[in-house]
Each structure stands twice: as structure tokens, then as C-alpha cells.
Amino acid sequence: MLPRNLQILAGVGRTIELEVDQPVTQRTILDALEGKHPALMGTIRDRITKKRRPMIRFFACEEDHSDDAPDDAVPEPVASGKEPFLILGAIAGG
């Protein structure tokens, strides 16, 4: 799931279904997402370092996975498509 601003930028709805290479990790999810929607390159993670942008968060299965290593496997329900991988903008700005 994408934040509203990125939905508009990519011309997609709130939820995107992706075919992701195994193992399913943050990196492979984002690789698949950017491959399908190149307009998102650089908006979620740095183009070169692939580091998550500071005000982007990753949630899944009611847990914050923002600081997980990019090559760690995501929870099985996300990998199997039962649960969404949520990408959202951090609460900031009052």
C-alpha cells in the first residue's frame, strides 16, 4: 500500500499487487515496485544507497519494520500475499 501522494505520482490505486522474486524482502519488494512504476524511483529510498528516505515508514502485520535490514525476509503473510506491506509517510508537520 502506498501513501496518497505516491499513488497519484505513479497513477495507481491505494494497493498494488506485485510479483516479487524470492526471497521476499524490503529490497525485492521495492525493486519490483520501482521496476513496475519507475516514477517512484528515488521517492521511497535513495537511488544510489537504497537507504530508506528518513520520513518513510514500512509497516506489516501490525509491526514497524522500518529499521529492518533491507535483505531480511518480510513476515510470511506479506510474502504469501495474505497481508499488505504498507509504505507510508511519517507523521510530521503538526
Binding site for another protein (CB under 8 A): 3-6, 8-9, 39, 41-44, 47-48, 53, 55-56, 89-90, 92
Cβ of residue 89: shortest distance to another protein, in angstroms?
4
From the CB of 46, what's the least distance to another protein, in Å?
Answer: 8
Candidates 60, 56, 57, 58; CA nearest to 82 is 60
Could you give the CA distance from residue 50 to residue 77 in angstroms, rounded to a whole number?
24
- By C-beta, is 3 or 75 nearer to another protein? 3
- From 1, 12, 10, 4, select the one nearest 39 (Cα to Cα): 10
